[in-house]
Structure 1
Amino acid sequence: MRMTNMLHFTENHRFCVFRDFSLSSLDYKMLTKMYQPMVGAFAIGVYSTLYQQLEGDRVGFSSLEQQRTLFLSLDLEPGERGRKIFIEQTSKLEAVGLLQTVRRFLPESDDYVFEYQLYEPLAPAEFFRNQHLTYLLRDKVGKYTLLFLKDELVASEPEGFTDANGENLSVPFYELFRLNTQVFDDELEQGFAEAATTRDSKVKLDVVSKGFAYPDIIQRFPRGSRNRDYVEALKYRQDQLVEINIIAKKYELTLKETCALLDEDSVFDEDGSLRRDVLQYKANLYFRQGKKREDELERGLAKVVPLRAGDEEGTEEMAVEMAYYLEVPAIFQGQCDQHQYNMILRNDPYTKVLKRFFSQGSVPDGVLDVFEKIDLNYKLPEEVINVLVHYMHTSRRSWAKSSIEAVASDMLGKQVHTYEQAVEYTRDRAKLKERTEAGAGKTGGAAGGRTGGARGRGKSSKPVLPTVKGTKANGKLSPEEFAEMVKWAEKLDGNP
Structure 2
Amino acid sequence: MRINQLMQFTEHHRYYIFRDFSLSSLDYKMLSLIYQPMIGAFAVSLYQQLYHGIEEGRSGYSELEPQRKLFLGLGLEMNEKSRRFIIEQTSKLEAVGLLQTSRLGVPEQADVIYEYELTAPLSPAEFFRNMHLAMLLRDKVGKYAVISLRESFGSNEPDELAQAQLTKENISVPFYELFKLNMQSFDSELEQALTEVAPSRQASNRSELASAGIPYGEIILRFPRNSANRSYVERLRNNPEGLAQVNYVAYKYSLSVVNVCRLLDEDGIFGHNGEIELDALQLRANQLYRQDKKRDGEQQRKLANTAVHNDEPEEQEEEEEFEVQEQDYLPVPNQLQGRCDVQQYNMLMRNEPHTRYLKRFFPGAIPDWIENVFERIDLNYRLATPVINVLIHYVLGANDAGRVTKTFIDAVASNMLMKGIDTFEKAVHYVREQAQLEQDKQKRKEAVTGAVGSGTYNGGRSGARAGGARNGISRKPSIPIVAEDQGASSVSADEMEELRKLARKLDGKS
Normalising by structure 2, we get a TM-score of 0.47
The structure with the largest alpha-carbon Rg is 1
